Amino acid sequence: MAGGARGRPVRRVLAIATAALGIAGAAHGQGADIAKGEAAYQSRCVMCHSLDGPGQGPDLHGVVGRKAGTAADFNYSDAMTASGLTWTPDQLDKFLTDPTKIVSGSPMQAQVPDAQERRDLIAYLASLKK
């Protein structure tokens, strides 16, 4: 019976559960170092993104999971507010690789080419709660 029609739903549920666990692991910065992410933030981001409110760029507290262009007290570009993006770890990874490729017209030009540094940085950003 396990190989018949009754076994297929079980396999489908297992496949979905396995995929969900993989996504959850990525969202929590699996293989990432928060301390290294903080160092990357200090060297790459702090000149525009203050942790005390908006600067040249928006405050990044609570950015992971937030809809793009919605942080309070920041005047976003039309491109960013129209993007419809939500800052998931995967979306942040793509954006940090090449911001203007993801949001054409974004004023952010800084790229983080190293995949591990991006993972570390995203893990640090995920640790910043409002």
pLDDT tens digits along 1-18: 445 555 554 444 344 434
Using alpha carbons, list the distances in angstroms from residue 113 to 95, 96, 98, 106.
11, 8, 8, 18
Q: Find all residues with CB under 8 Å of 29, minimum gap 6, and list them.
A: 37, 89, 119, 120, 122, 123, 126
Q: Is residue 23 part of a domain?
A: no
Q: What backbone torsions phi and psi does residue 67 show, to the nearest 5 degrees?
A: -70, 135
Q: Could you tell me the residue range of the domain that residue 46 belongs to? A: 31-127
Q: Is residue 87 part of a domain?
A: yes
Quick check: 34 and 124 in contact, CB under 8 A? yes
Q: Is residue 1 part of a domain?
A: no
- Residues above pLDDT 70, as percent of the chain: 76
* Chain mean position to CA 62: 11
Find the CATH number of the domain harbouring 35. 1.10.760.10
**Mean pLDDT of all residues in 84-99:** 98
**Mean pLDDT of all residues in 26-54:** 86
Q: Is residue 16 part of a domain?
A: no
